[in-house]
Amino acid sequence: MNFLFQNFTDFLSEAISSFVDALTMMIIEIYKIGEEMALGNELAGVNNCLLFIQGISTLFFGCMVCKQIFTTYIAETDGDPDMDPTQILVKFSMSMAVSWASGSLISILCGWGWKATAELTGSAEVEYKNAIEGILGLISGGGQFALLVALLIYVIGVCVFIFKAGIRGGELVLFKLLTPIFAGDIITPSRERWNAFFAAYLVTIFGYSFQLLLFRFSIQILIAGDLMHCFVALSFLYLSIITPKWLERFVYSSGLGRIAGQSAHSAAFIAASFIRRG
């Protein structure tokens, strides 16, 4: 009898392991398809639209430079009139560089995002076999209705999570196309709109790493074989769904978005200075 029970638990643990791995791979594949669309490998029209927007943004940047020179040095209504005029040209060059490198930028960031995901999810291994006896005991010991309701809600949450994974692809397409437009804000003295845009960009790129991590944690908690753990797993699943919004709110409230934008500006400014001196 113990032999049959051991074989049954081994089979069940293997089935659960295969199902969870297949579900995780499906979600990762949806993320990858979205990124391929944003990179233009799945949708050729994305790159065509980007070229058009980059051309328009170039004319737009030229108008912004003329306006900035007028308001700073002639009308003296915006900016510091004592500032070196060449800094406006440096900012113009930075805006142009960000605009025309927006395609390469999303490719590099997505590559970094996958490396971060591999490191995070690789450290969250799911143990299945030890939880099988607890799950069987819960099913045979009562509380089946509450467990069924919790599992049903969890399945609905997983469907919502998958849907959000698909939305991310569309968000990346929009970020790629809007980068040349928002890059014009680098020319202005404040750059607040660019800082907010770039912070949201980074959250969209790297936020899914934490989404997958919390999703795997929710599975770990779910298979613990306890009804209370099921409700805690639902909480982790819900947090994995709203992770991008939570990260955006944290980035804005903590000022990390402004720091990220200023860091990118400082790096570009130092590079431009070396080029100018050379």
Please give the chain's pLDDT, 278 residues, in tens: 555 656 656 666 666 667 777 777 888 888 888 888 888 877 778 888 999 999 999 999 988 888 888 887 777 777 677 777 788 888 888 889 889 998 888 999 988 888 888 887 766 565 555 555 555 555 555 556 666 777 788 888 888 888 988 898 899 999 999 999 999 888 887 788 888 898 889 899 988 888 888 888 888 777 766 677 778 888 999 998 898 888 887 776 666 655 555 555 554 444 444 434 44
Helix axes 227-254, 256-277, angle to 10 degrees: 50
pLDDT tens, residue by residue, 148-185? 777 788 888 888 888 988 898 899 999 999 999 999 88
List pLDDT tens digits, range 67-92.
888 887 777 777 677 777 788 888 88
- Specify the pLDDT at position 142: 53
Predicted confidence at residue 273, as pLDDT, reads 47
Alpha-carbon distance of 76 to 246, in angstroms, equals 40
pTM exceeding 0.85: no
Token pair for 266:
């400082």
Alpha-carbon torsion (83, 86, 92, 97), positive or negative: negative
Could you give the CA distance from residue 196 to residue 178 in angstroms, rounded to a whole number? Answer: 13
Instruction: For residue 50, give the amino acid letter.
Output: L
Side-chain-facing half-sphere of 84: CA atoms under 13 Å: 5
